[in-house]
Amino acid sequence: MNSTKLTIAISSRALFDLDESHEVYESQGVDAYAKYQIEHEDEPLEPGEAFDLVRKMLKINETLGEPAVEVILLSRNNADSGLRIFNTIEHYGLAISRAAFCGGQDPWRYVRAFECDLFLSLHTEDVRGALEQGVASASLMPTSGNADEETEEIRFAFDGDAVLFSDESERIYKERGLDAFTENERNSAHTPMSGGPFRNFLRALQHLQSKFPPGECPIRTALVTARSAPAHERVIRTLRDWRIFLDESLFLGGLPKGEFLRSYGADVFFDDQQAHCDSASEHVATGHVPSGVANS
């Protein structure tokens, strides 16, 4: 983690809608794709799944008057075919100046070198590679839902087990059932859980939140978990032990998360379980975190 700023790495397909040109790549190959991009390099691309989140995060720098957030482009394009992407960045006025164009190779190799706190992509294998490097990462899913209101506030939502926390408790649930899970969480209520892949990102977010005067921070964070009493106590005590504060915590006891995420107004929700992600993506932007026992 870069202690001076929060750094987000984003794939070109997550930032912009490259579906049309990707179809050219899939059907005609890399040479036809490169030719297509060069021929259209003065035509701006449409926004992608992560565009609004990136735009809002970069606006924080204007609000604070300092470079508190950096967004870095990681792309499988080469620089020649990637010129259209940089032209589109300029078209939308996004303050993105650093990039790695990898010429068909794995872009996640550079997440540690850029000291990234978060990596967002549409390519699951890239996400897995970044997770193995210890960087919070998620594969963004197509979203059918629209926010009830447009706001400049940035609202992050996180699942608990295997996202903010390790999957140690979830493994007990998967292997031995709900009763064993509940008993373990009750007996371990005063024992903090180990951190999951998004703990350090949440910590970086909290550091960014601390730069704002009380009541003026545009960033909100929420835990949205299937846990309920009595398994809530260990969660609360773990976050307290980490000295991490969440703005909202929803203990849903197995209820579907989608409507709650829509009511919260999440800009993005991170969950490790594909079924939960499929449901949530009907309401809000959703990132699948391919970690933990659910993805073994």
CA distance 127 to 125: 5
Question: 1 in a domain, yes or no?
Answer: no
Q: Are residues 96 and 32 in the same domain?
A: yes
Task: Quote the pLDDT of residue 155.
Answer: 97
Q: Are residues 208 and 257 in the same domain?
A: yes
Q: Are residues 112 and 24 in the same domain?
A: yes
Residue 95's CATH number: 3.40.50.1000
Are 251 and 138 within 8 A, CB to CB? Answer: no
Q: SS3 of 21, please?
A: helix
Task: Quote the pLDDT of residue 79.
Answer: 87
Q: Which domain holds residue 26?
A: 6-139
Full pLDDT tens readout for the chain, 296 residues: 556 899 999 999 999 998 888 788 788 888 888 888 899 999 999 999 999 999 999 999 999 999 999 999 999 888 888 899 999 999 999 999 999 999 889 999 999 999 999 999 999 999 999 999 999 999 999 887 655 556 889 999 999 999 999 999 989 988 898 889 989 999 999 999 999 999 999 999 999 999 999 999 999 999 999 998 888 999 999 999 999 999 999 999 989 999 999 999 999 999 999 999 999 999 999 999 999 988 98
Domain end point (choices 87, 105, 139): 139
Q: Are residues 124 and 191 in the same domain?
A: no
Are 121 and 140 within 8 A, CB to CB? Answer: yes
Question: 149 in a domain, yes or no?
Answer: no
Q: Which residues are catalytic?
A: 159
Distance of CA 197 to the CA centre of its chain: 11
Question: 145 in a domain, yes or no?
Answer: no
CA distance 157 to 154: 10
Q: How many domains does the chain have?
A: 2
Q: Are residues 19 and 129 in the same domain?
A: yes
Q: Are residues 170 and 207 in the same domain?
A: yes
Task: Quote the pLDDT of residue 126.
Answer: 96
Domain end point (choices 139, 169, 199): 139
- Size (the chain), residues: 296
Task: Quote the pLDDT of residue 80.
Answer: 86
CA distance 160 to 199: 10
Task: Quote the pLDDT of residue 294.
Answer: 87
Q: Are residues 135 and 46 in the same domain?
A: yes
Q: Are residues 133 and 106 in the same domain?
A: yes
Q: What is the pTM of this model?
A: 0.93
